[in-house]
Structure 1
Amino acid sequence: MHTAAFRAAGLHGTYEARRVPAAELPAALAGLRQPGVLGANLSLPHKEAALPWLDELTPAARAIGAVNTVIHRQGRLTGENTDAQGLFEALLELGAGGTGDRNTGGAVAVLGAGGAARAAVYVAVTLLERDVYILNRTRARAQELAESWAAPDRPGPRALAADPGEVPWEQIRLLVNASSAGLDAPGQTPLPDFGFTRLPAGALVYDMVYKPAETRLMREARAAGRRAENGLGMLAHQARLAFRAWTGADVPVGVFLDALSSPAGREQQG
């Protein structure tokens, strides 16, 4: 995507994928301070672990408590979170992003409690203005995430264990898988033995996973007549926002989507 974006913007640059073990993260971030380096993206499990090694955070990154984009300027590193806005813009395109009355807009269920889930909860609480349920294998971690959004002027998210029995599914208009369940694992799902007909007609199941392009979660939701989309839209939008933060060039999101649909992009998606 970023190679295509550099070309579309008429800029000379490279974007390389590097596997960084957790113990090597501080050194890898320090390496971004070199002249000529614009920044980097971070993926699991570095989105929260990177925070102490950055010089500053944008308001969104600070509120979310996770970064996916690091911006280098004159030796200083700024942490940004384009996951949240990328998700929001993807949902807008799918007709699932309108703000409004909590009672008519429906609630949101978020699966997971890591960095991606933090971005999803941020979108649900601050941009969609919906009631939120957080489901995670470890209830304590879900509770920690929920408590970080507690405020006197709005109802905080409700933290639940992995058992979905406590969720009022008839109220859930948007279900977001922000866990890694299903990533490179076509037979895996974060909601085994779940009846998707419990969701109201018109509900959207949004799986942030995009490898494989169709996950088991998506297949089972569609089999029950519910809408389901993978995370490619979010991936393209967050990449566009990161590229703009690094270079100042606002490349159309279509450039990123076209790169994902190219033979090379499809191969990377598995």
Structure 2
Amino acid sequence: MSLPDGTPAFHAFLYADPAAHSLSPRMHRAAFAHAGLNGTYDALRVAPADLPGAVEALRRPGVLGANLSLPHKEAALPLLDSLSSAARAVGAVNTIVHRDGQLHGDNTDSPGLRDALYDAGYIWEEGAEVIVLGAGGAARAAVHALNCGQQNVTVVNRTLERAQAIAADWHAPDAHFQVTALPAHAAPWESAALVVNASSAGLNDPDQTPLDATFLTRLPARTLVYDMVYKPAETRLMREARAAGLNAENGLGMLAHQARLAFRAWTGADVPVSVFLNALTDLTDPGPAPAGSA
């Protein structure tokens, strides 16, 4: 669909600072083409001070909305007219949807992680033990996805107080499944079915890891190690996990799934996740990408 003069009828954006690393334009442009929609998607660098004006601009006719990445996911909350239950629970927005002049905030990182874990072969056994590394917005999205999926979650972070803040803020939908915060040495490694890296470790230094390899040797052979980082494609954490005989996956699947859900919210078109993933093949490395970023 296009306007009578041939210009695109739909526009969507990524707001981030920085934004040059983003792979989202490639994915969403492929989705527009697959859905037969004449739309544009642009990654814009938006400084924190400029976020209110940039969000207000999303109310213009023809604008579908925007994705948000660092550092805007929490700052945008008071600028929106409504929030999804996931956005409220996580305390962060990564997708803004424009409908009739109103801006609705959603968080597709949480269900995006859930769907990526399904694809990676993770078996969602009720009451399974999961360890989440990190205590930022990506970790909060992970806790939401996992605990709502009836998993017991232990948050591990170098600064224990930040992990404790997540556990204290979380209001579990079912009291049978807990969110706790522990130092690394006290986490339930011997019984963990899944370890999710939601920290920034390894982003700027491929030899950096969020976890001492000795902890990996304590994990059961069936444990999946899921690293939200997708650049580089194989992180040190993944290499060391595989050396310990474990399965390991990067965050590319989560990136594609959260994009698919955002695109569906904007357009109503249910584009297969394969379209988003195929758009990421043969990439020229744009540099490190933040964990959980778009």
Q: Could you tell me how far apart the structure 1 residues matched to 2:102 and 2:214 are?
A: 47
Identity %: 62
> 1:143 Cα deviation (Å)?
1.3
Q: Could you tell me how far apart the structure 2 residues matched to 1:189 and 1:38 are?
A: 38
TM-score normalised by structure 1 residue count: 0.91
Q: Of 190, 202, 206, which aligns to 1:186? A: 206
> 1:267 Cα deviation (Å)?
3.2
Structure 1 gap ranges (5+):
none
> 1:182 Cα deviation (Å)?
1.3
2:285 maps to 267
SS in 2 for 1:3: helix
CA RMSD in angstroms comes to 1.7
1:190-231 deviations in Å (ceiling 9; x for gaps): 114544111111100000010111111111111111111000
**What letter corresponds to residue 175 of structure 2 in structure 1?**
D
2:95 maps to 69
TM-score normalised by structure 2 residue count: 0.84
2:66 maps to 40
2:152 maps to 131
Structure 2 gap ranges (5+):
1-26, 289-294
Q: Does 1:212 align with 2:232?
A: yes
Query: Which is richer in helix?
Result: 1
SS in 2 for 1:87: helix
Report how many aligned residue pairs link the two structures: 261
1:7-46 deviations in Å (ceiling 9; x for gaps): 0000011111122222222222122122211111111222
1:108 maps to 130
1:198 maps to 218
Contact 1:108 1:174 in 2 (8 A): yes
Contact 1:149 1:156 in 2 (8 A): no
Q: Of 218, 222, 225, which aligns to 2:242? A: 222
> Structure 1 residue runs of 4+, over 3 Å off?
192-195, 265-270
Q: Does 1:143 align with 2:164?
A: yes
2:291 maps to none
Query: Which is richer in strand?
Result: 2
> 1:248 Cα deviation (Å)?
0.8
Q: Could you tell me how far apart the structure 2 residues matched to 1:194 and 1:49 are?
A: 37
Q: Does 1:251 align with 2:271?
A: yes
Contact 2:189 2:215 in 1 (8 A): no
1:12-23 → structure 2 map (5 Å cutoff)? 12-23=38-49
